[in-house]
């Protein structure tokens, strides 16, 4: 890697450790962490040349983002990350713009109910209701790609499992970015990469579990930790993860589970990348390449 790029990555990681990683390890309240995240994510550029429209699906607030003139043949339903209790339309709007520009697809960003105000399974049920209402409005399941980052990837995969189990139409494909799939925290990379992941901490994951699960839910339930589910019959998957992520082993184990279930699945591990590195594509060349890889996948399943 050229020296100027190495320096740029070092500066970005240093900023992330200060603005996000360090506060997430301090046992702060959900509300305090939400305020910190809201300030940090204002740094992500939003492409105002795109068209934005607030919509509602099954009572859920959503944002539709698309090119103003070019027609889209694919629709990406994206579920944002944030350890089940952080994030929203504002925090991930920049990434949604990047997905629209990279893929040419129309993106619907889903603002699902967060913990601790809404524990499992509220978010999953709300997402399923929104998806099914979209189908009722005439959107064909074969034109939908379901996407999610971090815990949003968990919810996207769990939603597919629930749709399959209830014999409802499945989306055309699954895009899982830096997925958090095992709430038992059984991946060895959580410890192995603890000093390398500039964004995500084990403490934040444990806070998310505490908020998301009540006494009635278990970490090994398939809809809670979809890594433990039988994946048979699910649509083709694309999994992206960085080599420095504490969740690296979640992605690796999902790839193995998909192979065991005869589900088409592509896993790409991006060297030197931290959790949710796609959000930094304006500054990080590897993230730009990852977005191009997503575009190739969307084009592939569209064909």
Task: Please give the positions annotated as active site.
Answer: 150
Smallest CA-to-CA distance from 82 within 123, 128, 129 is with: 123
| Sequence-distant (≥ 6) Cβ neighbours of residue 33 within 8 angstroms | 23, 24, 85, 86, 204, 207
CA proximity to 101, closest of 146, 147, 173, 50: 50
- Please provide residue 252's backbone torsions phi and psi, each rounded to the nearest 5 degrees: -65, -45
Determine the Cα–Cα distance for residues 146 and 101; give it in Å rounded to an integer: 17
């Amino acid at each position: 890697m050229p020296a100027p790029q190495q320096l740029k990555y070092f500066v970005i990681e240093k900023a992330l450790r200060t603005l996000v990683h360090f506060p997430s390890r301090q046992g702060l309240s959900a509300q305090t962490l939400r305020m910190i995240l809201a300030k940090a994510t204002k740094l992500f550029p939003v492409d105002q040349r795109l068209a934005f429209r607030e919509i509602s699906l099954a009572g859920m607030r959503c944002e539709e983002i698309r090119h103003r003139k070019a027609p889209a043949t694919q629709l990406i339903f994206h579920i944002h990350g944030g350890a089940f209790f952080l994030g929203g339309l504002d925090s991930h709007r920049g990434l949604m713009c990047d997905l629209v520009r990279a893929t040419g697809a129309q993106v619907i960003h889903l603002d699902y109910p967060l913990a601790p105000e809404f524990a499992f399974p509220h978010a999953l049920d709300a997402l399923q209701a929104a998806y099914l209402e979209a189908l009722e409005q005439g959107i064909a399941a074969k034109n939908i790609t379901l996407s999610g980052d971090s815990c949003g990837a968990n919810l996207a995969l769990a939603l597919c499992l629930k749709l399959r189990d209830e014999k409802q139409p499945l989306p055309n494909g699954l895009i899982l970015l830096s997925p958090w799939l095992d709430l038992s925290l059984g991946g060895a990379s959580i410890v192995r990469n603890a000093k390398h992941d500039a964004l995500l901490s084990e403490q934040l994951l444990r806070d998310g579990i505490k908020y998301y699960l009540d006494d009635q839910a278990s970490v090994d339930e398939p809809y809670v930790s979809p890594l433990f589910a039988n994946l048979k019959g699910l649509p083709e998957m694309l999994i992206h993860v960085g080599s420095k992520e504490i969740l690296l082993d979640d992605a690796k184990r999902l790839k193995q589970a998909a192979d065991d279930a005869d589900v088409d699945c592509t896993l790409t591990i991006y060297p030197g990348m931290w959790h949710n590195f796609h959000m930094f594509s304006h500054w990080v060349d590897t993230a730009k390449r990852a977005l191009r890889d997503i575009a190739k996948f969307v084009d592939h399943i569209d064909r």
